[in-house]
Chains A and B, each alone.
Chain A
Amino acid sequence: MMYAILCYNNEAEVFSWSKEQDEAVMGRLAVVHEKWEKAGKLKPALRLMPTSAAATLRKSDDTVLDGPYAETKEQLLGFYIIDVADLEEGLSFARELAVANPGGAYELRPIMLYLPGAEAKAYP
């Protein structure tokens, strides 16, 4: 079974960590990562940039809003990881997706740290 684990925390607090605190947390996480990666069970992991760097494409009227997706009526149903030149190219991709699958929104959040993890295996 494959799972996506979504990480939630208080943003104002996490971005108030000192450099040393941040490094200490990342260091402790790295120990856990390494163990599960060696077992071939940890796939890509990532740390997102603060929500102040996010933009959101509202599919219904093709509007780009600044900031994260704030509505709570919809649920998180999936996500993509893309590697593009800039926000515009990212939006082009999101717009193509929106045509194929209207309804809801896509939040584009830049990735701060990308860990590829154990080599991806085919979905069982």
Chain B
Amino acid sequence: MTDLAWIEAAIAGARPQAVGALLRYFRDLDTAEEAFQDACLRALKNWPKNGPPRDPAAWLIMVGRNAAIDAVRKTKRETVLPEEDQISDLSDAEGAAVQALDEGDYRDDVLRLLFICCHPDLPATQQIALALRIVSGLSVKQIARAFLVGESAMEQRITRAKAKIAGAGVAFETPSAADRSERVAAVAAMLYLVFNEGYSAGYEEQSARAPLCDEAIRLGRLLLRLFPAEPELMGLLALMLLQHARLPARFDGEGAIVLLEDQDRSRWDRKAIQEGLALIDKAIRHRARGPYQVQAAIAALHARAKSAGETDWAQIDLLYGALETLTPSPVVTLNRAVAASKAHGAEAALAMIAPLAQRLDSYFYFHGVRGNLLMQLQRNSEAREAFDRAIALANTPAEAAHIRQHLDSLMADAKK
């Protein structure tokens, strides 16, 4: 690896802890970011010469703090602090001192940094953009590319979001256990937003947006290392890994969506699946069911099935039932109906979604699923109506094209 590549990885790995600690020292996001930037510039000069520090985060915190204090002192015409050359080899004693200073707060530093991005007044897209900028350190250009907007528009959006959280005030005292668990839940939801922003990308946007999935997974691992006994964090990380594992099989050569049951399972990422399954095993031991764990368990049943035909639909139907209880929503019921149709037949599934007709009338998937069930029951004219409605509501040409295939097969049937 080149010097630059390992330095970049070391900085990326240390960033949440370092910016989080600097934020605690300076109690101001802009100052903390500037101090971190300063420390990074010095690292680029110093590390290739003196070798990597044993603890990059501690080095960056110390140098960043000194640089910021130095800047203040210079303006006050006081003595400057020693150059970072002299602390580049953090001796064990110094390293231990920094660690002792930070160990107790480290967890809350990172959590605070993530949590300020979850401010309830910020719309989801701004939360994501802010987290990518502040926590992950993605450039405004990279974030703008992921959101398909211009760089200056994204710059403005991030500045506005920052102003909002600066005005809102951030709590710096050590959070209570209840506050902490509330923060963890909010941060988990935000990470899943980041993940979905990457995961929901179409074929053309893949290269720009897939890194968002990797980033959400990386932060998910970090969060779980900080809160190792949180079963919902295990569930969230497992869910993201299991969904991400299917990425290589989700589009065909022409960029069309390949449905789960038609995917070439040999292209799924086995490493990600194994890690996801290991995390679910750990989560289950806690016997504290939550929505992420249940969704991860559903994804795990798909991952475990060697072919679509071997999927345990009865179990998936039950898990969707559990999810309906935990987070009731017509969309969950719709998903359950798909599983129920495989386990118990189209008739049962159709009865399950009948009560949703009004609420989901303008939802593309509802009419797609309904058409499919009607088609299975050979109620072809009703199926055709449902498919027509679905096409009218399709969000992308790929969605419409997919429904059109069903219509074509209905036409072919009619001609027989």
The reply on B354 being an interface residue by CB < 8 A is no
CB-defined contacts of A87 to chain B, threshold 8 Å:
278, 281-282, 285
Contact present for B14 and A12 (CB under 8 Å)? yes
Contact present for A52 and B228 (CB under 8 Å)? yes
Interface residues of A in 5-36 (CB under 8 A from B): 10-19, 21, 24-25
Contact present for A10 and B278 (CB under 8 Å)? no
The reply on B186 being an interface residue by CB < 8 A is no
Contact present for B281 and A13 (CB under 8 Å)? no
The reply on A67 being an interface residue by CB < 8 A is yes
Closest CB-CB distance, A107 to chain B, in whole Å?
Answer: 12
Contact of B281 among A11, A88, A112 (CB under 8 A): A88
- Give the bracket for the number of chain B residues in contact with chain A: 20 to 34
Q: Please, which residue of chain B has its CB at the minimum distance from the CB of A13?
A: B13
Contact of B1 among A12, A25, A53 (CB under 8 A): A25
The reply on B221 being an interface residue by CB < 8 A is yes
Number of A-B residue pairs having CB atoms within 8 Å of each other in the complex: 80
User: Secondary structure at chain A's binding surface: helix, strand, loop or mixed?
Assistant: mixed
Known contacts: A10-B10, A10-B13, A113-B271. The answer to whether A50 contacts B221 by CB under 8 A is yes
Contact of A17 among B9, B274, B275, B279 (CB under 8 A): B9
Q: Please, which residue of chain B has its CB at the minimum distance from the CB of A19?
A: B214
Known contacts: A16-B218, A53-B275. The answer to whether A86 contacts B14 by CB under 8 A is no
Known contacts: A12-B13, A13-B14. The answer to whether A52 contacts B237 by CB under 8 A is yes
Known contacts: A13-B14, A15-B13, A52-B237. The answer to whether A110 contacts B274 by CB under 8 A is yes
Interface residues of B in 1-42 (CB under 8 A from A): 1, 5-6, 9-10, 12-14, 17
Complex CA–CA separation, A55 to B279 (angstroms):
9
Contact present for B224 and A52 (CB under 8 Å)? yes
The reply on B225 being an interface residue by CB < 8 A is yes
Contact present for A110 and B228 (CB under 8 Å)? no
CB-defined contacts of A11 to chain B, threshold 8 Å:
13, 225
The reply on B229 being an interface residue by CB < 8 A is yes
The reply on B249 being an interface residue by CB < 8 A is no
Closest CB-CB distance, B255 to chain A, in whole Å?
Answer: 21
Closest CB-CB distance, A45 to chain B, in whole Å?
Answer: 16
The reply on A82 being an interface residue by CB < 8 A is no
Q: Which of A14, A51, A66 has the most chain B CB atoms inside 10 A of its CB?
A: A66
Contact present for B12 and A16 (CB under 8 Å)? yes
Binding site for B on A (CB under 8 A): 10-19, 21, 24-25, 49-53, 55, 64-67, 86-88, 110, 112-113
CB pairs A–B below 8 angstroms (8 shown): A12-B222, A13-B6, A51-B225, A53-B282, A64-B285, A86-B277, A87-B285, A110-B275
Binding site for A on B (CB under 8 A): 1, 5-6, 9-10, 12-14, 17, 55-57, 214, 218, 221-222, 224-225, 228-229, 234, 237, 271, 274-275, 277-279, 281-282, 285
- In the A-B complex, list the 4 residue pairs whose CB atoms are closest, starting with the nearest: A67-B228, A12-B13, A87-B281, A13-B13
